């Protein structure tokens, strides 16, 4: 077990981002809030595994599931919610991808659901004209690519935190002046 203070600080940042995302989603509808909170818990589990030295295996297993959960939440927030059967099949497919990646040590299998989720979030956020959600989708793609390249390091942890907070951030209310114009 190799101790790195930078990775530990970044793991704390991801854990705090998970707690902040949990708090920020309190006012959102349940169809969005539940999936974003589920992703926050999964990514906080990755952060908690960093001091134990199990973070690479944990991230291979949990990142596809968290990214799929973020995708379902973003689709429900910016477009129409997925039907329950489709959402559950997407979660099961991402779980199978993460489990296969962890058991057979094939990180590309874990990257497929992350890329699909990141591109879907980017498309729906672009359609909704939400710049923060677009950046969160890019951060989610970045977290998957850094996981593939360097494992769970500071880059992965910070990209995952940015994706989580970016999608959990509540939309700004339009001012009265902007509504009148």
- As a whole number, the mean pLDDT across the chain is 90
Checking if the pLDDT of 178 tops 70, the result is no
In the predicted model, what is the mean pLDDT of residues 102-113? 90
For residues 71 and 39, what is the distance between their CA atoms, to the nearest angstrom?
A: 10
For residues 23 and 178, what is the distance between their CA atoms, to the nearest angstrom?
A: 28
* pLDDT tens, position by position, 109-125: 999 999 999 999 999 99
* pLDDT tens, position by position, 32-91: 999 999 999 999 999 999 999 888 899 999 999 999 999 999 999 999 999 999 999 999
For residue 106, what are its two tokens? 């094939």
Boundaries of every domain in the chain = 5-180
Residues above pLDDT 70, as percent of the chain: 93
């Amino acid at each position: 077990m190799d101790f790195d203070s930078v990775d530990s600080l970044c793991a704390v940042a991801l854990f705090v981002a998970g707690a902040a995302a949990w708090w920020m989603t309190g006012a959102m509808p349940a169809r969005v809030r539940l999936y974003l909170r589920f992703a926050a818990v999964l990514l906080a589990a990755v952060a908690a595994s960093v001091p134990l030295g199990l973070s690479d295996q944990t991230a291979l297993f949990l990142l596809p599931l968290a990214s799929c959960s973020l995708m379902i939440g973003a689709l429900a927030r910016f477009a129409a919610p997925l039907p329950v059967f489709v959402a559950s099949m997407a979660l099961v497919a991402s779980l199978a991808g993460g489990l296969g990646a962890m058991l057979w040590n094939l990180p590309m299998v874990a990257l497929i659901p992350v890329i699909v989720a990141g591109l879907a979030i980017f498309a729906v956020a672009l359609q909704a004209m939400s710049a923060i959600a677009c950046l969160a989708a890019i951060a989610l793609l970045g977290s998957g690519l850094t996981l593939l390249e360097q494992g769970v390091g500071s880059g992965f942890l910070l990209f995952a935190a940015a994706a989580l907070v970016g999608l959990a951030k509540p939309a700004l209310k339009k001012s009265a002046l902007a509504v009148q114009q």
